[in-house]
Amino acid sequence: MNPEVFRHNRAVFGPAELSAHQGRWVAFSLDGRRIIASSQDLELLDKMITDAGEDPERVALERIEPYDVSLGAAEFS
């Protein structure tokens, strides 16, 4: 995996496209061009990746946090 290529391609997915994945883990292709699957549950995501014909060891995982979350000082202590 080339991190620069991944970051460049991953950045193309904007908030509108990722909004359907808020609060979920997303499996991206290693080049960052495709979303393979997403789920709140990592075990289910692993199965979804396999069912899509991909190797779970050859994807990049990212958790998409809800955009309207505001963290206060209590969350950081």
> How many whole angstroms separate alpha carbon 76 and alpha carbon 55?
35
Q: How does pLDDT run across 15-44, given as a tens digit for each residue?
A: 889 999 999 999 999 999 999 999 999 999
Cβ–Cβ < 8 Å for 17, 32: no
What is the pLDDT, as a whole number, of residue 67?
74
| Helix ranges restricted to H, 1-74 | 3-10, 15-18, 42-51
* pLDDT category of residue 75 using cuts at 50, 70 and 90: low
* pLDDT category of residue 47 using cuts at 50, 70 and 90: very high
